[in-house]
Amino acid sequence: MKWTATWIALAILLASCAGTGGATDCATWRPILVHDDDTLTADTARAILAHNRTGRRLCGW
């Protein structure tokens, strides 16, 4: 169950950046920013980290 959020985030990212337009498909996707006031579970933090790392790798954030 703890990997469910990570896999969902990765699936969304891969689908968005895998289009025929290349990096321009990533224009609507942005890194998820966490503020000091946010309360995160460990699973949510891992999913955000996976999202941001994948975006950096695929979309050049």
CA distance 53 to 13: 10
CA distance 43 to 16: 22
- The 10 Å Cβ neighbour count of residue 12 is 13
| pLDDT 10s digits, 4-61 | 777 777 777 776 655 555 555 787 788 999 998 989 999 999 999 999 999 999 888 8
Instruction: Answer yes or no: pTM beyond 0.75.
Output: no
